[in-house]
Amino acid sequence: MSGEHTSTPVAARVRQLEARLTEAGVVTEEQLDAALAAMLKGASPVNGARIVARAWTGPGFRERLLADANAALPEVGLSMAGGIQEQRLKVVENTATTHHVLVCTLCSCYPIGLLGPSPSWYKSEAYRSRVVREPRAVLAEFGLELPGDTTITVWDSSAESRYMVLPRRPEGTEGRSEAELAALVTREGLIGTAAV
């Protein structure tokens, strides 16, 4: 799975759109580069990891995050504002009996600011179609074997709604600081394709 990446047609369309916009004088290449740099500035899974660590150590923050993530994000200095409109963020919590995994069938609804740039396999047609049809098999290919009685829910991001997984806190991490806990969290854990 991790080596597959079939979004070449999408990349070609993006390049065509960029060329048309620059040829029409709507935007310059420098402006496109600046917009991309601004979008990626601070985009890191470290942001999502900070949110998770705060939720693990602060039950009140965890409750607020699960109830209304957009309202809770400013507590850690983050927001979903940007672009034309604010995107709605929903945080879904993994438990002993429920596991969540994310997909974006349109490949444009990934919360870069919280999870960092998306991995190539996240954009692949194989991942996008199979994780919806057979999530347990796809997770097993990533090395995540879940008990047979674990309910798996697949969340499909959209232009209006983004998702982030709140992974289960690893056992034996009591007493660790937020920074130490955040260091345990990976982008894959925030997507739901790995445990922390």
Give the C-alpha separation, 116 to 101, whole Å. Answer: 17
Predicted TM-score (pTM) of the model is 0.78
Judge contact between 166 and 196, C-beta under 8 A: no
Residues in the chain: 196
Which tops the pLDDT comparison, 63 or 37?
63
- Is 120 an annotated catalytic residue? no
Mind giving me the DSSP string for 102-152? EE-TTS----HHHH-SPPHHHHSHHHHHHHHH-HHHHHHHTT-PPPTT-EE
- Is 177 an annotated catalytic residue? no
Name the catalytic one among 7, 44, 79, 107: 107
Q: What is the pLDDT of residues 46-102, one digit of tens each?
A: 999 999 999 999 999 999 999 999 999 999 998 887 554 467 899 999 999 999 999
Domains of the chain, first to last: 8-191 (3.90.330.10)
Angle at CA of residue 125, ends 66 and 186, nearest 5°: 40
Rg value, the chain, Cα = 18
- Is 157 an annotated catalytic residue? no
Give the C-alpha separation, 108 to 123, whole Å. Answer: 9
Least reliable range by pLDDT among 124-133, 134-143, 186-195:
124-133
Which tops the pLDDT comparison, 158 or 34?
158
- Is 124 an annotated catalytic residue? no
